[in-house]
Amino acid sequence: FKTKMTSPVSMCMWTLIKFPVLVCPALYPSAYRIKTGTHSRLNPTFQRSQKDVDLLFEILLAGTQIDSGEHRLFVLDEELASLRQVKKLEVICEDVLPKTLSEVRHVVDLLSHRNVPLHWDDYQRTVLTLVYISHTVARLDSELSQQAWGTVLIQLFNALHKDLTIN
């Protein structure tokens, strides 16, 4: 017995029955795109070892700035800025992290509906997004803009906290 499935709904239902896989949308879809003309790679990550974690902590302590126009990351310490590993961090901050309030709200929305812990790469990007938002809030002049970004910062923190408590 063969049935002709022409409607998208029947095709989708058949696919779900035949291949019962839950597909979650990517939190950071730009991490899976290769940009032409850049040195970025597919799914770039910064922290792979304790040494990388220590380096990130050192970079944040030394100071960073994010250019408001191009959203470029600048590491203030010249010695740290010259390290190869910092280039990966720059790619993540410039090409992967959400830059607008609506993009961050979208990430918060996706996080709030998750029932499984984040993969390490997405967890790392979410923490870096918190750092990015903190920089953004600090340089805003408008109280209304500060309030909007501050609210999304708290929502993202709460979503990340929820992720840490998922069994």
| pLDDT tens-digit readout, 71-104 | 777 888 899 888 888 888 888 888 888 888 999 9
Within-domain flag for 71: yes
Within-domain flag for 112: yes
Q: How far is CA 63 from CA 49, 66, 74, 123, 161, in A?
A: 21, 10, 9, 22, 25
Within-domain flag for 11: no
Beta bridge partners of 75: 64
| pLDDT tens-digit readout, 25-65 | 577 766 656 555 555 455 567 777 888 888 888 888 888 88
Within-domain flag for 47: yes
Within-domain flag for 115: yes
Within-domain flag for 80: yes
| Separation of alpha carbons 97 and 81, rounded Å | 19
Residues of the domain holding 134:
26-165
| pLDDT tens-digit readout, 116-142 | 888 888 888 898 899 888 888 888 889
- pLDDT for residue 11 is more than 90: no
Q: Is 74 in a helix, a strand, or coil? A: strand
Q: How many domains does the chain have?
A: 1
